Structure 1
Amino acid sequence: MTKVAIITGISSGMGHAAALYFQEQGFEVYGGARRMSRMQDLADKGIHVQELDLTDKLSIRQLVDHTVKEQGQIDVLINNAGYGEYGPLEEVPTENAKKQFEVNLFGANEITQFVLPVMRRQGYGRIVNVSSIGGDLYTPLGGWYHATKAGINMWSDVLDMEVKPFGIRSVIVQPGGTDTEWETVALSNARKNLQEDSPYEPLVSRAEKLTENMNFGATAEDLAHVFYKAATDVRPKRRYFNSITDHATVIFARTMPNAYRAIVSRIINN
């Protein structure tokens, strides 16, 4: 029997790569994003796409209902959609912070609430929540983003305990630095969030320079494979990482917080 996956945020990056990879592995793939024009290549390959706004409950329900109507089942939900609203905490408008939570955390919760009754009737299902190593690490300017990812980590762990008796599992994928447009968008937002004559402008400039010089080894395709493993492992783990380095960095930050803070401060202030 063909398995069915819903993937959010498939217009670019990891979500786009995951939609293609899951289809290659025999899944019937449904998904969406805000920009229909950037999903045309997926539609041409037979992936079911629709405009999806995770802050719009009707939009979310339409995707889930359409999937169930055509396939009668949902085996996997991948909560991938999200973005970075960077900027100094003193200056990021609260409305912008709230929007980031609405997309990165509450949007994942909304679609999950629609999918869970279907999975519970089936007696099985897998919910893969795309967090970040930034759910355990932190850097200046990323305060609200890190808060959303720390939140989804905790939310997923609680959800897993609640739904495991029904044959459903909720797991986390924590990507590290990945060669996508995410960093560019996040720092672009940081500059937009600066107030006139902001004392934080030098900090944003240093962060931009650091990002320009970074070499991200992981690709969106690499993470698509991690998504697939998280979605199909017979015995799922709570956390999935693309590399040993990503996992080790999280362990270091959690077990040696003072040393981690000192290193980040030294890097960002050089």
Structure 2
Amino acid sequence: MKKVVAITGASNGMGFEAAKLFAANGWLVYGGARRVEKIPITPNVHALSLDVTDHSSNKVFIQTILAEAGRIDVLINNAGYGEYGPIEDIPLDNARNQFETNFFGAADLSQLVLPIMRQQESGRIINVSSIGGDVYMPLGAYYHATKAALQHWSDSLDMEVKQFGVRSITVQPGLTRSGWGDIAMSNAKKNLTAASVYTPLLDRVGGLLSTNSHAIGASSESLAALFYTAATDKRVKRRYFHSLSDRALVWLARSHPNLFKNGFEAVFKYLEKRSDKAGI
């Protein structure tokens, strides 16, 4: 019997590559996304329309999988985005939508799959957070808040359901070689008020994200492999990191918050000076 995985946000990036990887390894994959036409069309992949902010959509997604496959072995809560912007400027409706997508969508889908996983006496819920659940930068306050919430929620869930053979796991990617940073900064620009005093800050943060994420970030393929490890590991870990540097940054931010803050500010000032010299 093929194992069954449900993957949200399967139309691009990590979710797209994860759908292909699980299918290539013989899993029956159900990929969900709003842009259903962009989900990979390969053997073993079933593309379903999904809006994680809509309970009815989530319910149909899970019910369809159970009707066709009869079980769900792994749920990967991957759907998410960065609603960047200054706290003073960003509309709270946009901040609420960030939570609906990055946090409450995962919570809703998990509630829907837990009864079948308990009945199976097995299952894994893999919650895709970010090192941004522990580290932070300007303009990303609501994004970081959603990821921090997801991590603590996942840990609490794991303590509740482990007794039933079900595990809740967190994956924390760092910078990725993708368009994530460009989308986040596009949202930040939209969230600026007229004549905002934070425009220069946006330019600096945008330079940091676009430069580093494309130069040293992890590929979507390597992060999909990390998802697969989390889904199949015989000894389940509470956290999964792509690299030692990602793990080290999280350790620094949690263990030495002032040192992390001072270090980030020093790097940020250096980048500001370099940008000024370049006339940016």
Aligned to 2:276: none
Q: Which residue does 2:219 correspond to in 1? A: 219
CA distance in 2 between counterparts of 1:71 and 1:20 reads: 18
Pick from 102, 114, 117 the counterpart of residue 116 of structure 1.
Answer: 114
Q: Structure 2 regions of 5+ residues with no counterpart?
A: 273-280
CA contact (8 A) 1:31 1:63 kept: no
Aligned residues: 268
Corresponding residue for 2:99? 101
Higher mean alpha-carbon deviation, 116-125 vs 202-211, is at 202-211
How far did residue 45 of structure 1 move? 3.8
Q: Equivalent pairs: percent with the same residue? A: 52
- The residue number in structure 1 matching 2:141 is 143
Cα distance in structure 2, aligned partners of 1:71 and 1:27? 11
RMSD: 1.0
Q: Report the Cα offset of residue 44 of structure 1.
A: 4.5
Kindly report structure 1 stretches of 4+ aligned residues shifted beyond 4 Å. none
Secondary structure in 2 matching 1:189: helix
SS of corresponding position for 1:67: helix
C-alpha distance in 2 between matches for 1:70 and 1:43: 18
Q: Which residue of 1 aligns with 2:81?
A: 83
Q: Spell out, residue by residue over 1:187-234, the C-alpha distance to the aligned partner (whole angstroms, 9 max, x if none).
A: 110111000110000000111222232213310000001001111111
Q: Give the distance between the partners of 1:180 and 1:58, measured in 2 at CA.
A: 30
Q: Distance in 2 between matches of 1:99 and 1:150?
A: 16
Displacement of 1:267 in angstroms is 2.4
TM-score, normalised via structure 1 length: 0.97
Q: Secondary structure at the match of 1:66?
A: helix
| Range that drifts further, 257-266 or 149-158 | 257-266
Task: Note the residue ranges of structure 1 that are not aligned, 5 or more in a row.
Answer: none
What does residue 16 of structure 2 align with? 16
Aligned equivalents of 1:112, 1:218: Cα separation in 2: 27
State the alpha-carbon separation in 2 of the partners of residues 81 and 139 from structure 1: 21
Query: Would the aligned equivalents of 2:86 and 2:198 in 1 still touch at CA under 8 Å?
Result: yes
Aligned equivalents of 2:222 and 2:60: distance in 1?
A: 30
Partner of 1:172: 170
| 2:195 matches 1:192 | no
* Greater Cα offset, 91-100 or 209-218: 209-218
Listed one character per residue, the Cα deviations across residues 64-105 of structure 1 (whole Å, up to 9, x for unaligned) are: 111111111100000000000001111110000000000100
SS in 2 for 1:121: helix
Relative to structure 1, is the Cα distance of residues 238 and 44 closer, same or farther in structure 2, using a 3 angstrom cutoff? closer
Structure 2 CA distance for aligned equivalents of residues 17 and 212 of structure 1? 21
Give the secondary-structure state (helix, strand or coil) at the position aligned to 2:23. Answer: helix
